[in-house]
Chains A and B, each alone.
Chain A
Amino acid sequence: MATKSISRRNILKSLTMGAVASSVLRVIPLEAAEYAHHMVAAEKAASPAGSYTPKFFPARQYKTLQTLCQTIIPADADAGGAMEAGAPEFIDLLTSENPKYQLKLGGGLMWLDAECIDRYGKTYLDCTPEQQKEIVDLIAYSKNAEKDPGLSPGVEFFALLRELTADGFFTSQIGIKYLGYVGNTYLLSFNGCPPVPEA
């Protein structure tokens, strides 16, 4: 891990430059990016305004939720993932207010751990990355539940979580930037469409 002498400002500056010229982003040393990520996360945890205490999910379930969200929309060279976008907070907030989500997501997380214990002898968080991938690959596609109805609760849970994670990510600042949306501004005139490529 990089030393503390790398200032937050420098790290963020290099990240910002990376966003402008994407070639720069790809050469940021992984450890620097990771350091920045930890630093931002630590800052968020330290500041009362930035920290988030889950309203519905118990701490360990929330951690599973966060992990799954990040699996659904991971960080990549172009943008952060669902966690950086605040998707788990968004999902927890909505779930705390919606009994249907409480049943589907709360129950779904319980189902996932039980299924992992059956298959691997441990909860999802304690599974190896390979085991986690194996179970997620099973519940990420409805055709698997057609073959094995026992997977239905997992598939239904994952479908809702996927939808809400996409909502949380693509309505965030980084998600909107990732999509390349241009607008929500004041224009004196509207130019219409640039030349359309052929189908």
Chain B
Amino acid sequence: MWRFCLATVVALCSPLSLHAEAYTPATPETVLLALPSVVTEYWQQQDKQQNSELSADERIARAQTLLTAAQGSNYADGYGQAEALLLPLATTMTLMPAQAAYLLAYIKQHNHEFSLARELLNHVLAAQPHHLGALMQRAQINLVTADYAAARGDCATLGAIVSAAQATSCLAQVAAVTGQAEQAYAAVTQLLANPVLRNAAERFELQLTAATVAEQLGKDEAAEGFYIAALAQQADSGFILQHLADLYLRTGQPQAALSLLRGVPVDMRSLEQEVMLLQALQATANQADAAQLQQQLVGKFSEATARGGNGSRANDTPDKELAAFALLQGDAGRALAAAQRNWQAQKESGDLLLLTKAAALADDTGVLRDIRQWQQTTGLQDRRLERLLQEAGV
């Protein structure tokens, strides 16, 4: 523990003093890196024309390709590269093509720059009021930023252009955090039980909604079942893996969480998954692996902290992950500070639970009382939150 504290302090105080070790490949033929096709295409295009000379349509098409790679192949650099292509089109919002604004909004949303993303989506929806993707994105942003009335409004608009199952899923997610979790759960599970519902994509979406609401209601076994069913459809879903691993860790099944997270290829793991993996390793007494991962995470958070200067964007410091990591190490001050910054940006149940744990560890009754107040105001039903608050005596 003390070694970690020392390493963290040193690393975070000297963000540039990253551990470095010289590496010389065994042979000249040693392949260091598989290059994404976009790099090759970039240089082929450079022979023909410069980036600055690309037309708006070409920029949009390339950005779309990069975002597809970012999503489909977890090519994380695709977000920044797509943004670099789109930014020259965003100098004047009113002149920006709707599709460019839509793509840029997605990147901003990914970066947790919700206000900018919403502004861009408003621009898209002003031109195309029934733009499905834009409506869906805006509803999601409204939900995450706790503008529940606006989220409900977007769901209602969507209801006119999507199926009943889709509309139900949308409304259920809003209802689940505004005092109607039981009703939301009943509506979603009834739909899932209906043999008429055969569309796999619709079932998948409803299963995810059912799983998250079930967790809120303390129905952990049911939640596990829904996650596993959804995972059977989409085995590489980071969202499901993360939620299921979290459920396992929370319900005292660290070995199951470990198996799940170890199944994710190392280069595909998100920072949040790595923090969970560390928790699972520690809980299952894999001390050597835990120490190694911990050292890597200290380096990653150190680098992330170093990025946060000079007005860098909000996503430059992964506060949620940092809070979870600090919480795991018992660093109450850092955990609470990071959890509070994260809560300023996004307000989902997971964010609130994280804030509550950090406040409880820091014994900050003021923050805990604010959380209780939030819960009462929104009508949020969440057994996990209730238990944490009761344990903290609030």
A and B from one complex: no
